[in-house]
Each structure stands twice: as C-alpha cells, then as structure tokens.
Amino acid sequence: MQNVIGFVSDFGLDDTWVGVCHAVIYHACPHVKIVDLGHQIPPFDIRKGAAVAAAGVYQLPDAIHLVVVDPGVGGGRNDLCITTRAGTRLVGPDNGVLLPAAEKAGGIAEVVALNPRKIDHRPPLATFHARDVLAPAAAALACGVEPLALGTPIDPATLKPAPFQRCRIEAGVLTAEVVDIDRFGSIRVSVTPDDLGAHDLGREHLQLSFGHLTVDAPFGSTFSDVEKGQPIALIDSSGWLTLALRRGSAAERFGIEPGTIVRIT
C-alpha cells in the first residue's frame, strides 16, 4: 500500500491547510490515495499526534504516514523521513511525533533529513513546511522515489525524544505511562500485547495502579465482556493496553489524564 498516504495533523477542518496539502500531493502523484486518519489533534499537542499516528501505523503498516503536529515549524528542526524495519515510511518533523509510530512498525531502520532543495527549487515558507516539504516528500515516496534521493541520512540517536516512553520493569512491576484518552474516555497505556506476553501478564485479570488509586479489571477481548459501567482491560484498535468502562468514561470515573504513570501487576 505504498500508494496510500495516511495523514494526521493538528490543522483542523476549518481552514485550507488540509485541502492544500491534499492538492500538493495529488499534483505531484495523481494516482496516490490519501486517508485522513485525524486532523482534530489539539493544536501543538505532540503527544496526542504521536498517539494517533502510532494507532494509524498499527492498523495500516504498509502505508506511507504523513504526520504534521509541528509547533517548531521553521525554527531549525529537521524534516524527516523514517523507514522502519517493517518497511513503513513516516514523514514529519523531528520533534518526537514520529517515534512511537516507528516503534509500532518494528523500530527505526533508516532516517533521512529531508532537503527542501531536493524536493522543490523554491525555498519553503517558514510557517508551512507541511505544504512545501512534508506533503511533497510523501507524494514522492508514493510515486516510487527512494528516501535517500530526498535528503541526507542521519543517526537515529540524534532524534528528539518521543513524547511518551515504552513500558519498563521496576522492582518486578511493569511500569508504563498513559499515552492517550480516546473520545470514549478509554485510557490507553504504553504497553503492547508483546509486553504483556513477555512479562506473563494479561491472562485473566490485571491490577492497574495510578498513584494511590488501584483499579482491578478482568482482561478481556471486548467491552461487552463486562456489565454496563464495569471496568475492563483489553488491547484496543490502537494496539495498546486500554482500561475502559462499558458504556462509560474510565478517564472521568478514575480522574486519569495523559502522562499519568501506571504500575501493572
């Protein structure tokens, strides 16, 4: 699906920005298909943008992913094309927004810092790299151009850190971070199915501790595995461990926000 571009941004739908980026992509690569995965990211919210992009990659690993949540646009940070070990290509700014998605797709294989002069002879508008650098680069990839033709390889170790980190073991307890709250109030945690398997968790029951609050929840496969209003832990469509309430908001019930540390047993 390298002729499909999944597009995530904080542009909203009230201005011209999303449409203009579509037009630039179609002009450069008319046969490409653009899938708008989400443009209602809160302005400048790199964490939410990274969470949405990672969920998109989990569901569409073969697509090219264009991710633009870029409060530092024009300020000297690099524009990037990341190729993952699974072959997914991610295009966006070097502010950490691409890294959780890259992790979802097997980790980083190669990073190219995009050179605007290799994409267009005109210098990019300092406030709109999405239009002048990132969208044209995604279009070029969709039309078969290799990333190295668009810039210079750089060391992945130099990239800005992700806005949230993978889980880790501390004193025998799986410690993670709340990645995101979805629109239904479900609490997504930076734990994957592989993490649960590696630490022998998630068989029937989980205990999730958020500071002084502890929630006991059965580990199930869908929301209807519990009665209305009851908590359940499951792997949702984002590919992360999620604490949800059937027909309710777990975030409101338990007062949890993104960035909260959670310990899981």
Q: Where are the domains of the chain?
A: 4-158, 168-264
Q: CB within 8 A of 191, min separation 6: which ones? A: 167, 174, 176, 240, 241, 264
In whole angstroms, give the CA distance from residue 47 to residue 53: 10
pLDDT at residue 120 greater than cutoff 90: no
The owner of tokens 């929840």 is 217
pLDDT in tens, 215-247: 999 999 999 999 999 999 999 999 999 999 999
Helix, strand, coil percentages in the chain from 3-state DSSP, rounded to 5: 25, 30, 40
CATH code, residues 4-158: 3.40.50.10790
CATH code, residues 168-264: 2.40.30.90
Cβ atoms within 10 Å of 128's Cβ, excluding its own: 18
- What pLDDT sits at residue 194? 87
Query: Which residue intervals of 17-72 are DSSP H helices?
Result: 17-28, 46-59
Phi-psi group of 12: left, alpha or beta (phi > 0 → left; psi -120 to 50 → alpha; rest → beta)? left
**What proportion of the chain, given as a percentage, has pLDDT over 70?**
99
In whole angstroms, give the CA distance from residue 71 to residue 35: 23
User: Which structure tokens are listed for 242?
Assistant: 């999620």
pLDDT in tens, 177-214: 999 999 999 999 999 988 888 777 767 889 999 999 99
pLDDT at residue 1 greater than cutoff 60: no
Query: Average pLDDT, whole number, for the chain?
Result: 94
CA 253 to the chain's CA centroid: 26
User: Looking at residues 10-29, what average pLDDT do you find?
Assistant: 97
